[in-house]
A and B are shown apart, each in its own frame.
Chain A
Amino acid sequence: MSAIEIIPLQWYITLSALLFGLGVLGVLFRRNAIVILMCIEMMLNAVNLLLVAFSAHHSDPHAQVFVFFVMAVAAAEVAVGLAILIAIYRNTRTTDIDFLNQLKH
């Protein structure tokens, strides 16, 4: 029995849900764009943890492959996100998202 299987599945689900919830709260309430990007990463990594735990539970490797896809996509996504953030920073000299209300009437 490998280490990941010793701890009951329920604990992994709880831990992942907690991490995911923290990420969601961070995205909703933090004002700094970089911190928000980190919170989104936390959400995705909570899912990765959950997938690996389920994978061990079902003895099925598919979810572990999926985790690699998630990592690759998350890297691509954060690259685009940081690029957009740099464009904003060049125009506004701030990474505070409260500045992003030019389109409100």
Chain B
Amino acid sequence: MKPILILTGLGILTLLAELFRFRKALFPLVIIGLLGALAATISYAWYDDGAMGAFINGMLRFGSKEAVSFPMITSAIIITTALLWYLMQKDFLSDESNVTDHTALVMFMLAGAIILTCFSNLTMLFLGVEILSIPLYVMAGSRKNDLHSNESAFKYFLTGSFASGFLLFGIALIYGAVGSFDMNVIGEVMMDSAKAQPAFLYAGVVLLLVGMLFKVSAAPFHFWAPDVYQGAPTAVTALMSTVVKTAAIVAIANLFLSKVLGPLASFWAPVLAVCAALTLLIGNISAVVQTSVKRMLAFSSISHAGFLVMAVAAVGSSMAPRAIYFYTAAYSFASITAFTVLLNIIKAHRNDNVDSFNGLAKKNPLLAVTMTIGLLSLAGIPPTAGFFGKYYIFAAAFSSGYGWLAVVGILASLIGVYYYFRLIIAMYFRPADETAVTVSSTHQVLLFVTAVFTIVLGLLPDLLLNISAMADGK
């Protein structure tokens, strides 16, 4: 609860900054606020009473005894990513005349993301999804005079509210079958296999699944993502493909990997497995033919959603939740690196073609090296964090009987290696042109930090995994 209060408070404070003219203090204020929210999240690890972390009548739970670690760790990952993102977007928000409005929108959006990590009531699931989405519709359309930004915002809005409709209908049908929105009550009813469930409960689960798959842009509900990601301002695209994706997949994990819908796994797990396989193939094969790096990263983000959905389909494995948060951390850090470099390239070249990366290694070695580390992590090559992320997900898939899915995943990663390496080859082996690429000192620090995170998690993956083991032991 504390991180949500801090983030909404921060959002209101940033709105006041416009009113009382302390806009200059905004940047340090937001950094301190986000660090505060991070500290508040981590402090839940030291609570040890049985009723810990239940708020608003138990509608939000930061940890009941059996799930102490997942909401906390995923919240921490989301807030850390947001902090890195905030360092990255400095230019984007200061270019805008209404910087306070946009900062406030991001803070409210983060509060929604935190709600999605810890909801324990389907009302909160719906509210979290909406609080996460509505500010983003505005952010995607923040270049009001740019038709691409308009189009991106409207497509995002249409698919987002369409998906919310499905989500709501699913929630209503589940409520009708169970008679409660509380996830503990729903879990008890699901466990009680002696009682036959009405058919519309299953329809409700399918509709809920459709709504959430829309949000993570998993096939066959991914068609909106490339256009939306390409049309939105690059900084907003980075936010969508890291924080939003993490929050949405964590919400899916909270629903499907827990005792709420877990008992129905034999019904939905095969569906999710097929969706994951489709997502992996469509995302990776479409990424190969893109010339725009931003659009390529959009398709790559679809394919990473496929890996995460695969981990949810591997519900039988106790490894699955850990694989999910490790993968989101690895993916978010690598994406932030890639988008930071892309921002600098777009600033220098005014376009985002693969050719713009030619000879970057000679022009700016720091950008080239950190981009390489980020791309290697996205491709899943050791010694980067992405390798272990993929490894844990494949292990989870194998141990829960989805060997074929893991094989599809491995094939898809091989295709991924091709298009990530196309960029690396452009940076190192193509002749450079005259355009100079300069990097601000904030971005230098940021790139250094994300690259170090990526390498450290790749060399010592137990660091992050053991945090959860420690928390589980309590």
Taking a contact as CB atoms under 8 Å apart, the answer to whether A46 and B169 are in contact is yes
Structural contact, B130 and A47, CB atoms closer than 8 A: no
Q: Nearest Cβ in chain B — how far from A16, in angstroms?
A: 8
Indicate if the CB atoms of A66 and B181 lie closer than 8 Å.
yes
Cross-chain contact A54 with B176 (CB below 8 angstroms) = yes
Residue A3 is within 8 A (CB to CB) of chain B in the complex: no
- Whether the pair A103, B227 counts as a contact (CB closer than 8 A) is yes
Q: Which of A19-38 contact B (CB under 8 A)?
A: 20, 23-24, 27, 33, 36
A1 proximity list for chain B (CB < 8 A): none
Binding stretch for chain A, among B6-14, B137-145, B187-195, B236-244: B137-145
> Closest approach, in angstroms, between the C-beta of A5 and any C-beta of chain B?
14
Q: Which of B161-205 contact A (CB under 8 A)?
A: 161-162, 164-165, 168-169, 172-173, 175-176, 179-181, 200
Is the Cβ of A77 less than 8 Å from the Cβ of B130?
A: yes
**In contact, B165 and A92 (Cβ under 8 angstroms):** no
Q: Is A73 located at the chain interface by the 8 A CB criterion?
A: yes
Of A16, A44, A47, A84, the most chain B CB neighbours within 10 A belong to A84
Q: Which residues of B contact A60 (CB under 8 A)?
A: 179-180
Known: A81-B137, A91-B147. A23 touches B165 (CB 8 A): yes
Main secondary structure of the interface of B (DSSP, over half): helix
Given contacts A73-B127, A73-B130, contact A47 B168 (CB under 8 A): yes
| Docked complex Cα distance between A51 and B187 (Å) | 20
- In the complex, the chain A residue whose C-beta lies closest to that of B150 is A88
Taking a contact as CB atoms under 8 Å apart, the answer to whether A62 and B227 are in contact is no
Tell me if A's interface is mostly helix, strand, loop or mixed: helix
Q: Which of under 10, 10 to 19, 20 to 34, or 35 or more describes the interface residues of A?
A: 35 or more
Q: Does A2 contact B (CB under 8 A)?
A: no
A76-B130, A91-B145 known; 14 new pairs, CB 8 Å cut-off, are A13-B176, A43-B168, A50-B172, A50-B173, A54-B179, A58-B179, A63-B172, A66-B126, A80-B134, A84-B137, A92-B147, A101-B151, A103-B148, A103-B152
> Can you list 18 pairs linking A and B with CB atoms under 8 Å apart?
A9-B176, A20-B169, A23-B165, A43-B165, A43-B168, A47-B165, A47-B172, A54-B172, A62-B123, A62-B181, A80-B157, A84-B138, A87-B153, A91-B147, A97-B154, A102-B147, A102-B151, A103-B151
The 5 A-B residue pairs with the shortest CB-CB distance, nearest first, are A43-B165, A54-B176, A58-B179, A47-B168, A103-B227
Residues of A within 8 A of B (CB): 9, 13, 16, 20, 23-24, 27, 33, 36, 40, 43-44, 46-47, 50-51, 54, 57-58, 60, 62-63, 65-66, 69-70, 73, 76-77, 80-81, 83-85, 87-88, 91-92, 97, 100-104
